Amino acid sequence: MGLGLIPLGLALGMLITQTGLPWWCASLFTAVVYAGSFEFMLVGLAAAAAPLATVALTALLVNVRHIFYALSFPLHRVNGRLAKGYSTFALTDEAYALATGAQARSWSGARMLWLQGLLHLYWVGGATAGALLGSLLPGSVAGLDFALTALFTVLALDAVGERRRDLSTPVLALLSALVARLLFPGELLLAAFALFTAALLMQRRARGGSTCHA
């Protein structure tokens, strides 16, 4: 997973410099913001000098999914306020996918922190290298902002492959996204998550309170 973040970081770094921002913005964004999908959007917002209120609202809508992540992320294994604080800050899609899988049920808090720290390091290093490389290229490279979407697609396909017996959950997710796209195109992510959560709750109730696979 860490090696997979390197080309994504390279894409983000190159996008930052080709947008006209200085190379060190790549290191700053990835180290302090550390929210991959939002960072790709932040590049355009920063280049357009968007108001802070717009940036804050965009960050909320894009990262609201972490509220749902926190419900099942094993933060209780991490000891110490500082360690818990960093683990909360470094809760990314990739870290969640790895730390909540069946193979991670026996992992210690220290191993989870190492996992999150290394993923963070891969992300910062890849973006910094990409920014330095992008500043040397004479032209622009199309499609760099799609790199993270491609990774999410792969993660989703892997999740579906692990749960072939329960195809209802991915179908509900797809339908929620389509309905949100049709009815709430301006608030697609937030609407899709709200619809998906409601659908999962109804699914769980229909199954008599059995555990749903979110």
Q: What is the pLDDT of residues 143-181, one digit of tens each?
A: 655 666 676 677 677 666 666 666 777 888 889 889 988
Q: Do residues 214 and 200 make contact, with C-beta atoms less than 8 angstroms apart?
A: yes
Instruction: Please state the rounded mean pLDDT for residues 124-144.
Output: 78
For residue 164, the tally of other CB atoms under 10 A from its CB is 7
Q: Do residues 43 and 157 make contact, with C-beta atoms less than 8 angstroms apart?
A: no
Q: Do residues 107 and 80 make contact, with C-beta atoms less than 8 angstroms apart?
A: no
Total residues belonging to the chain: 214
Alpha carbons 41 and 43: distance in angstroms, whole number: 5
pLDDT of residue 212: 44
Q: What is the pLDDT of residues 52-97, one digit of tens each?
A: 888 888 788 778 778 878 888 899 899 999 999 999 999 988 888 8
In angstroms and rounded to an integer, the radius of gyration of the C-alpha atoms of the chain is: 18
**Amino acid at site 175:** L
